Amino acid sequence: MPSIDLRSDEAMNRKNPDCSVTKRLVDIVISASLLILLAPLFVVISLVVKLMSEGPVFYRWKVVGRDNADFTSYKFRSMVEHADRIKQALAEHNEMNGPVFKMKNDPRITAVGSFLRKYSIDELPQLFSVLRGQMSLVGPRPPSRKEAEQFRPWQRRKLSIKPGITCLWQVGGRNKITDFDEWVKLDLEYIDNWSLKLDFEILFKTLVAVLKGTGQ
């Protein structure tokens, strides 16, 4: 596994969101509250996913977190079974410049998956990862190990904090940005300008985007 040095002088001299006890408390309170309130919805979605397409209810999302640590999070499965194996055959249709794959009208997405993604419902199981402390409500989206190994040195600083369910990229041009560099610049902007106020602004914009169904 390639070594990724996150401890540059520049990175260490900047304020780190993960040092905030208040941010962690907010993560715990909100994630725990939502998991309790949304429990009935989780049951309904699980049944729908299971009945409408073959495969497991949850997608095991193996990603890289803070300080280059691997962990597994979960999403409601929105694609056909074995979608990761099929992705290689679709490589030429990638609309994102860089190590991340993004394709509009991805043929791997199921009918119910399209609805789940539109309203970002597939992301809800990640609240368990927030509660466990592997993720935060707000932070850079976690990459896969394969993606992280392709990061350029300056891009690796996005791994210096916990990844999040939502971020500046998702509320500031998610469906328009096609260059991974621009995506990472938004992540670094968040890291360098972090505050609880910024977190709540991003959470509010995320809620608006979810209600409008602008996710993909």
pLDDT (0 to 100) of residue 174: 62
pLDDT (0 to 100) of residue 165: 96
Distance CA 75, CA 128 (A): 10
Distance CA 117, CA 210 (A): 10
pLDDT (0 to 100) of residue 103: 84
pLDDT (0 to 100) of residue 176: 73
- Per-residue pLDDT tens digits for 34-74: 999 999 999 999 999 999 989 999 999 999 999 999 999 99
pLDDT (0 to 100) of residue 13: 42
Q: Is the pLDDT score of 198 beyond 60?
A: yes
Distance CA 4, CA 7 (A): 9
As a whole number, mean pLDDT of residues 105-111 equals 91
**What amino acid is encoded at 210 in this protein?**
V
Q: Where is average pLDDT lowest: 36-40, 125-129, 171-175, 180-184?
A: 171-175
What are the residue ranges spanned by the domains of the chain?
17-212
Average pLDDT of the chain?
Answer: 88
